[in-house]
Amino acid sequence: MVGDLRSFYKDTFVLRPSKMSSLIVRMIMLVIATVCGVYICSVCLKQINPQTKSSIEVIERLGISCEANHLDYPYLHFPQPETFSRAECAGNPVRFFVIITMQRSGSGWFETLLNSHMNVTSNGEIFSNKERRDNISSIIRTLDKVYNLDWFNSASKNECSAAVGFKWMLNQGLMDYPEEIVEYFNRRGVSAVFLFRRNLLRRYISVLANSFDRYAKILNGTHKSHVHSPEEAETLSKYKPLINSTSLLSALKEAEFTMAQALANFNSTRHITLYYEDLIKNHTKLVDVQDFLGIPHMNLTSRQVKIHKGHLREHIKNWDDVNKTLNGTAYAKFLQLDY
């Protein structure tokens, strides 16, 4: 009897702690699982939010469309040039860009501003050469060479480049293969900078004057599309084109349509839209450009001097005819002094 009692109490004292310890272990495991779950959820939320913010958001503000957040993959690149070594800069990312524009829209001046940045290389009108835009294959080969940093000119920063691109005119093959080029831009992470003029009449005058000087060569027998002194600008501005008032409206409509078509064709790319007049009147717009390209802020400068200043009546030979033609139309606003 005593032995049975001892066995009973022994079993009791052995079994109860086992049940209690099992319960405690389960509670501890439940607490640990809960804590881990909360931690994992918080980490996931932190990872999801930046990805959501890093998605491309195009925001319209004062004529500028741009991504509001920091640049991220796939817009950061680490090129490996075949013609030189990036040396200590090999680990520094490079952004790819293209300036999409039309002749006499201020793109030459704008490009000199970009190239005044110590880390930006803009290679000019590389597709002014017809052989490079002969077909889509030659275009892709040229683009690959530019974005691999194997394209050299006086503006090249080589291993120090943080942003590299060039200027592409709408009439230089860009509009001939829009789907293939958009696919390339999106695949390679190329950002587009649209640069146009609001006042298409001023652009038209500049086109006519530049075309005239191409043959007349007013500056000591030399043709210059851009000048660096007030004296040269004054000399070129003395020429006043005679505008065909009969075809003027159709010419302005054609330019307007071409701009709209370009924006529509390349709307799916990461892009920013700028207007020459806005840049002239407000240089803080250049800060937006530097933010868009993901480069450090610098004071951008250019030596170029504007040719056609002041009211347009001073630069059109048959001003009265042009004024009469545009008054009462949607283009009458072009007759006013806008900057």
For residue range 129-185, list pLDDT tens digits in order: 999 999 999 999 999 999 999 998 878 877 788 999 999 999 999 999 999 999 999
Of the chain, the end-to-end C-alpha distance in Å amounts to 115
**Of 15, 38, 54, which closes a domain?**
54
The answer to whether 100 and 174 are in contact (CB under 8 A) is yes
CATH code: domain of residue 270: 3.40.50
pLDDT at 332 over 90: yes
> Are 151 and 274 part of one and the same domain?
yes
Residues 19 and 103 in one domain: no
Q: What is the pLDDT of residue 72?
A: 62
Q: Do 12 and 84 share a domain, yes or no?
A: no
Whether residue 91 sits in one domain with residue 36 = no
For 192, phi and psi rounded to 5 degrees? -100, 135
Collapse the DSSP code of 77 into the 3-class scheme (helix H, G, I; strand E, B; otherwise coil) and give the result.
Answer: strand
Q: 99 and 175 share a domain? A: yes
Instruction: Taking residues 323-335, report their average pLDDT.
Output: 96
* Residues 94 and 143 reside in one and the same domain: yes
Asked whether the predicted pLDDT for residue 60 surpasses 70, the reply is no
- Mean pLDDT computed over every residue of the chain: 84
Residue range(s) defining the domain that contains residue 27? 1-54
Residue 80 and residue 9 share a domain = no
State the Cα–Cα distance between residues 303 and 24, nearest whole angstrom.
79
State the average pLDDT over residues 207-221: 93
Into how many domains does the chain fold?
2
3-state percent breakdown (helix, strand, coil) of the chain, nearest 5 = 55, 15, 35
Lowest-pLDDT range of 12-21, 62-71, 107-116, 223-232: 62-71
- What pLDDT is attached to residue 14? 43
Tell me if the bond preceding 74 is cis, omega within 30° of 0.
yes
User: Of residues 31 and 51, which shows the higher confidence score?
Assistant: 31
Asked if residue 154 and residue 207 are part of one domain, the reply reads yes
Please indicate whether residue 171 or residue 55 has the higher confidence score (pLDDT): 171
Give me the pLDDT at residue 12, please.
Answer: 44
Q: What is d(CA 334, CA 253) in angstroms, rounded to the nearest whole number? A: 13
Shared domain for 43 and 62, answered yes or no, is: no
* Residue of 92, 72, 88, 90 whose CA lies nearest to 80: 90
pTM: predicted TM-score of the whole model, two decimal places = 0.78
Whole-number pLDDT of residue 68: 38
Residues constituting the chain: 339
44 pLDDT more than 90: no
- Strand-pair partners of 219: 222
Query: 186 and 38 in one domain?
Result: no
pLDDT tens sequence across 69-114: 444 668 999 999 999 888 888 889 999 999 999 999 999 999 999 9
